[in-house]
């Protein structure tokens, strides 16, 4: 132990000895240098201590240090905001706007400016911009976040606090969100059902001049959802629209009228249910406040919308009730005295719905009879241009109703005579005529001539007997009062009344009625073909060998009625029909419109010729080729 301790002590002493002289020498040199500097330049600041030589070789930071520095900077750089982020920030700002007092403090102005910027950014995501189209994933993310919390409610209630441009942007955002789908579902509908009171805010917005157009546009988009529209229709607010439409501010009144029309025309079944339950008060308000309004624009819009409501198939029961009222007819007759031609036109073809009613009350009949000549004179004077296609369609509907009325009256005579002994005359060896033919033609011509005294008429019994069948551009009624007379005589139930109307030599309206089996075929050019009110179309057969052909050769026949054969094509019972040498245009005038509107085709009908070929379009080429 002593020797090791001795060695340890010796070593320590050696270390101390080797270190001490260096420290003393260095300390002495520093003191001398310091004294010298103080004597020669006492005002200079002391120099920093000398650094080690290796530190002066390169002052640039090491490469690894530079990389670490860049990484640190990246950690503090702001990331791009996602659509959900923007919605959340917008929500926070809307909460601030709702709670903050109306002051002009710089903080509030800064927040509101940021809010407006966010709303504009939301609009850009949903609609795209000049540089890019909207991205569906971003839109879905935005929509989901928007409806997850009460952002829509906040945006609607805070709208008055925004500037004009931000209001416009917000209106477009709300409108677009109603159409956005998340996982193939319109989630806006569910949100609005749970927050249906928002509709109260939007409707009452029409009372605020600054907000009316923005809230009105939002409301129209929200009622795209049927449940929302039903709420508005059934709410007390519905009655307020009759006042909003008459507001002195034209823009607001027009916007309210647009929303009112949307409510009454978009969701058919909902509207029909509403009108049925609320008929009395609704039409009392409609007549007194809109149709009899002192404002010309209101009257014009109201009479046009009335047609849209009454002519909709879903509202057939409502129409029947409306056209049975003497007071309603009186209002429309007064509108016929308007100086405005457009109101006259609209009122006229609405009044014709009263005439077309098959169960007209006696007081309605008396008014129509008393004013018949005036109505027909007014009708003849109307000059319709190409822009008023709706009016032309409504006129065709009136013509059709008149033809159906006449056909059903004639059908009663045919049905009665079908089961009785017939008095038969021979027009030729194979053509027969009965008292029923003549009675039906007289009835049809008398009814139609009373309604349309300026129109031309071609009938099988009278015109054919005189040998005159010239077809002109005038409105021309072509009538076969009893197509299938031979069947009628022999008790074969394929008989019908056929009534067609040509305008400019073009078949426009067609009615074929079989009273024995009570089948009514109707068609309007451009308006479709129907059997007892149900749409019909031709068959889909595409091979001649598998098709059912109808034709006639003298008295050897399949059905014995050219008009019914055409209707058979129209409803798909028959695939092909060909006949040569039939009686005249009265045999095909009614069926021609019906088969065409059902999608049938073939040779040109040429209703003044005596050749007809018809089929579904799939068989057309092969069929025509065979009969060239």
Binding residues for Mg(2+), as ranges, are 460, 480, 482-483, 587
For residues 589 and 480, give the distance between their C-alpha atoms in angstroms, rounded to a whole number: 9
Tokens representing 279 are: 């008929």
For residues 463 and 419, give the distance between their C-alpha atoms in angstroms, rounded to a whole number: 28
Please report the DSSP string for 304-318 in residue order. Answer: HHHHHHHTSGGGHHH
For residues 47 and 106, give the distance between their C-alpha atoms in angstroms, rounded to a whole number: 51
Q: What is the dihedral of CA 119, 124, 129, 132, to 10 degrees?
A: 150
Closest by CA position to 529, among listed 598, 615, 605? 598
Question: For residue 380, with 0-12 CB atoms within 10 Å meaning exposed, 13-18 middle and 19 or more buried, which class applies?
Answer: exposed
The H or E element containing residue 557 is strand 556-557
Tokens representing 338 are: 């308007």
3-class secondary structure per residue, 442-505: HHHHHHHHHHCCCCEEEECCHHHHHCCCCCCCCCEEEEEEEECHHHHHCCCCCCEEEEEEEECC
Can you state the percent helix, strand and coil of the chain, rounding each to 5? Answer: 60, 10, 30
Tokens representing 264 are: 């009454």
Can you tell me whether residue 534 is helix, strand or coil?
Answer: strand
Strand partners, 459: 479
Please report the DSSP string for 13-60 in residue order. Answer: HHHHHHHHHHHHHHHHHHHHHHHHHHHH-TTSPPPPPPPPGGGGS--S
For residues 371 and 332, give the distance between their C-alpha atoms in angstroms, rounded to a whole number: 12
For residues 112 and 379, give the distance between their C-alpha atoms in angstroms, rounded to a whole number: 61
Can you tell me whether residue 623 is helix, strand or coil?
Answer: helix
Spatial contact of 206 and 256, defined as CB atoms under 8 Å apart = yes
For residues 391 and 388, give the distance between their C-alpha atoms in angstroms, rounded to a whole number: 5
Tokens representing 288 are: 């007194």
Closest by CA position to 502, among listed 593, 570, 401, 613? 593
Spatial contact of 352 and 398, defined as CB atoms under 8 Å apart = yes
Sheet (strand 476-483) strand order: 456-459, 476-483, 496-503, 506-514, 519-524, 528-531, 534-535
Instruction: Point out the annotated binding site.
Output: 460, 480, 482-483, 587
Total residues belonging to the chain: 628
Count of CA atoms in the C-beta half-sphere (13 A) of 88? 6
Q: Is 397 left (phi over 0), alpha (psi -120 to 50) or beta?
A: alpha
């Amino acid at each position: 132990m002593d020797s090791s301790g001795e060695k340890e002590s010796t070593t320590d002493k050696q270390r101390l000895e080797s270190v001490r002289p260096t420290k003393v020498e260095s300390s002495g040199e520093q003191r001398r240098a310091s004294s010298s500097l103080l004597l020669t330049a006492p005002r200079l600041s002391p120099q920093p201590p000398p650094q080690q030589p290796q530190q002066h070789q390169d002052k640039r930071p090491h490469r690894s240090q530079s990389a670490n520095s860049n990484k640190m900077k990246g950690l503090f750089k702001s990331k791009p905001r996602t659509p959900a982020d923007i919605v959340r920030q917008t929500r926070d700002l809307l909460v601030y706007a709702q709670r903050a007092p109306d002051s002009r403090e710089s903080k509030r102005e800064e927040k509101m400016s940021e809010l407006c910027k966010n709303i504009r950014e939301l609009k850009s995501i949903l609609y795209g911009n000049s540089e890019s189209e909207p991205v569906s994933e971003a839109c879905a993310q935005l929509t989901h976040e928007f409806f997850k919390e009460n952002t829509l409610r906040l945006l609607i209630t805070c709208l008055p606090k925004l500037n004009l441009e931000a209001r416009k942007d917000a209106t477009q955002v709300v409108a677009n969100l109603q159409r956005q789908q998340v996982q193939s579902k319109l989630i806006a509908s569910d949100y609005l059902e749970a927050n249906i009171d928002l509709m109260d805010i939007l409707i009452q917005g029409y009372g605020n001049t600054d907000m009316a157009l923005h809230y009105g546009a939002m409301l129209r988009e929200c009622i795209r959802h049927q449940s929302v529209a039903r709420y508005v229709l059934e709410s007390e607010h519905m009655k307020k629209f009759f006042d909003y439409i008459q507001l002195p501010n034209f823009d607001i009144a027009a916007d309210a009228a647009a929303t009112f029309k949307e409510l009454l025309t978009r969701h058919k079944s909902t509207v029909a249910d509403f009108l049925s339950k609320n008929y009395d008060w609704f039409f009392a308000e409609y007549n007194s406040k809109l149709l009899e309004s002192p404002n010309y624009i209101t009257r014009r819009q109201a009479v046009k919308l009335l047609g849209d409501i009454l002519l909709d198939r879903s509202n057939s029961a409502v129409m029947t009730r409306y056209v049975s009222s003497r007071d309603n007819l009186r209002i429309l007759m007064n509108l016929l005295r308007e100086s405005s031609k457009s109101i006259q036109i609209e009122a006229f073809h609405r009044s014709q719905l009263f005439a077309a009613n098959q169960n007209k009350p006696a007081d309605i009949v008396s008014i129509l009879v008393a004013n018949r000549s005036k109505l027909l004179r007014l009708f003849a004077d109307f000059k319709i241009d190409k822009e008023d296609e709706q009016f032309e369609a409504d006129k065709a509907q009136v013509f059709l109703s008149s033809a159906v009325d006449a056909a059903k009256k004639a059908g009663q005579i045919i049905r009665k005579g079908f089961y009785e002994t017939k008095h038969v005359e021979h027009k030729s060896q194979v053509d027969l005529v009965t008292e029923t033919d003549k009675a039906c033609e007289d009835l049809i011509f008398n009814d139609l001539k009373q309604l349309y005294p300026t129109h031309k008429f071609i009938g099988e019994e009278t015109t054919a007997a005189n040998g005159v069948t010239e077809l002109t551009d005038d409105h021309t009624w072509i009538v076969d009062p009893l197509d299938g007379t031979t069947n009628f005589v022999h008790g074969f139930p394929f008989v019908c009344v056929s009534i067609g109307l040509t305008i400019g030599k073009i078949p426009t309206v067609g009615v074929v009625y079989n009273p024995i089996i009570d089948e009514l075929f109707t068609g309007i050019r451009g308006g479709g073909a129907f059997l007892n009110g149900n749409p019909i179309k031709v068959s889909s057969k595409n091979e001649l060998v598998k098709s059912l052909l109808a034709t006639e050769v003298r008295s050897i026949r399949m059905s014995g009625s050219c008009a019914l054969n055409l209707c058979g094509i129209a409803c798909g019972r028959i695939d092909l029909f060909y006949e040569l040498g039939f009686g005249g245009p009265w045999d095909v005038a009614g069926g021609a419109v019906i088969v065409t509107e059902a999608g049938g085709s073939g040779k040109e009908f040429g209703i003044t010729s005596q050749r007809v070929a018809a089929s579904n379009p799939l068989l057309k080429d092969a069929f025509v080729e065979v009969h060239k």
